[in-house]
């Protein structure tokens, strides 16, 4: 595994590279590329630190579109196009890449995400007013496997500012009516994967995608953070999906 740095718009984007497989993992709110270590180790590919996260530089980001713009440039630079695995906010970015930068997307793996990602007002307000408590509340909601809660309460508390910014961006993201109106259909292979105990992006959000060309896989006994809670199961689903692409 190696760290690779790309210059995008004269600023640094940092990537964890495990192999040349053009599979790009996009993390969710307040996280970073290291979230995907278990996938990188077993499956290979590239995990990106989003702008303003991990070891990447600061960029002006106000929306999912802004993230997608930067990621499209990353993908073009690395391999021209690729398979996009996005989690939560990363899944919103994957959808936006497909909508606005179709030529970089060969296939989509939408993990614990949705066509609309409204956020509980209690979380948005709490991260500003009572960040410690709210970081714990978010971590409690994020994991069905409670062994991770202490570690992520701490991490989300340390990153409460960027977590808040990301969740505000999620709250504005809304493609629901465009899907319903038939304006969006998945014309590349697409699988939606979600934990059966996901409280932040419930199964029905992923189920929704099946009306528009996606296949659904529900991972049992997993919450929102399926890549950490059930890595073997998630990796198996991704492996099978990759096999079908050939
Ligand atoms: N895909 C499919 N359907 C969706 C959807 C999605 N992404 N988001 C909302 N909907 C549907 C709901 O199922 C509901 O349908 P119904 O009326 O048939 O039950 C309808 O749209 C209205 O949704 P609702 O959840 O009541 O309102 P909302 O979208 O305004 O959500 C919240 C407000 C914050 C209460 C709710 O989104 C929620 O509980 N979110 C989970 C917690 C959270 O903060 N997650 C963070 C995600 S990053």
172 lines ligand 1 (CB under 6 A): no
Confidence of residue 246 (pLDDT cuts 50, 70, 90): confident
Q: What is the mean pLDDT of residues 198-208?
A: 98
Instruction: Give the relative orientation of helices 121-129 and 160-172 as an angle to the nearest 10 degrees.
Output: 150
For the chain, give every domain's residue range.
2-116+176-245
Question: Which CATH code, of 3.40.50.150, 1.10.10.10, 3.40.50.1820, 3.40.640.10, is assigned to 2-116+176-245?
Answer: 3.40.50.1820
| Predicted structure pTM score | 0.97
| C-alpha 115 to ligand 1 mean position (Å) | 10
Confidence of residue 198 (pLDDT cuts 50, 70, 90): very high
Across the beta sheet with 46-48, what order do the strands follow? 2-8, 11-17, 46-48, 23-26, 82-87, 105-111, 190-195, 215-219
6 lines ligand 1 (CB under 6 A): no
Q: What is the mean pLDDT of residues 40-47?
A: 98
| C-alpha 184 to ligand 1 mean position (Å) | 19
| C-alpha 169 to ligand 1 mean position (Å) | 15
State the chain's mean pLDDT as an integer. 98
Q: What is the mean pLDDT of residues 186-208?
A: 98
Q: Where are the alpha helices (DSSP H) in the chain?
A: 37-43, 64-79, 89-100, 121-129, 131-142, 149-158, 160-172, 176-180, 203-209, 226-229, 231-245
Q: What is the mean pLDDT of residues 38-60?
A: 98
201 lines ligand 1 (CB under 6 A): yes
Write down the pLDDT at residue 174.
98
Q: 112-160: per-residue pLDDT in tens?
A: 999 999 999 999 999 999 999 999 999 999 999 999 999 999 999 999 9
Write down the pLDDT at residue 173.
98
117 lines ligand 1 (CB under 6 A): yes
Q: Which atom of ligand 1 is nearest to the CA of 208?
A: 2
Write down the pLDDT at residue 19.
98
Percent of the chain with pLDDT over 70: 100
Q: What is the mean pLDDT of residues 166-193?
A: 98
Write down the pLDDT at residue 163.
98
**Pocket residue to mutate for ligand 1, from 95, 118, 168, 180, most atoms within 8 A of Cβ:** 118
Q: 62-85: per-residue pLDDT in tens?
A: 999 999 999 999 999 999 999 999
């Amino acid at each position: 595994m190696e760290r690779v740095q790309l210059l995008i718009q004269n600023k640094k984007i940092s990537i964890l590279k495990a192999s040349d497989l053009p599979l790009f993992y996009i993390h969710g709110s307040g996280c970073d590329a290291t979230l995907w270590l278990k996938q990188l180790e077993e499956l290979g590919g590239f995990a990106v630190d989003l702008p303003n996260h991990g070891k990447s530089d600061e960029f002006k980001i106000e929306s999912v579109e802004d993230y997608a713009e930067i990621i499209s440039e990353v993908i073009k630079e690395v391999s021209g196009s690729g398979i996009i695995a996005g989690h939560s906010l990363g899944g919103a970015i994957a959808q936006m890449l497909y909508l606005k930068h179709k030529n970089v997307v060969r296939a989509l793996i939408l993990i614990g995400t949705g066509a609309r990602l409204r956020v509980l007002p209690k979380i948005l307000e709490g991260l500003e007013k009572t960040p410690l408590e709210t970081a714990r509340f978010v971590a409690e909601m994020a994991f069905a496997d409670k062994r991770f809660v202490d570690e992520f309460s701490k991490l989300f508390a340390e990153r409460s500012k960027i977590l808040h910014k990301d969740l505000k961006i999620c709250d504005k993201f809304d493609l629901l009516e465009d899907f319903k109106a038939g304006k969006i259909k998945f014309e590349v292979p697409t699988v939606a994967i979600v934990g059966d105990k996901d409280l932040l992006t419930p199964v029905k959000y992923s189920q929704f995608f099946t009306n528009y060309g996606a296949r659904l896989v529900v991972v049992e006994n997993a919450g929102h953070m399926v890549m950490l809670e059930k890595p073997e199961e998630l990796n198996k689903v991704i492996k099978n999906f990759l096999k079908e692409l050939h």
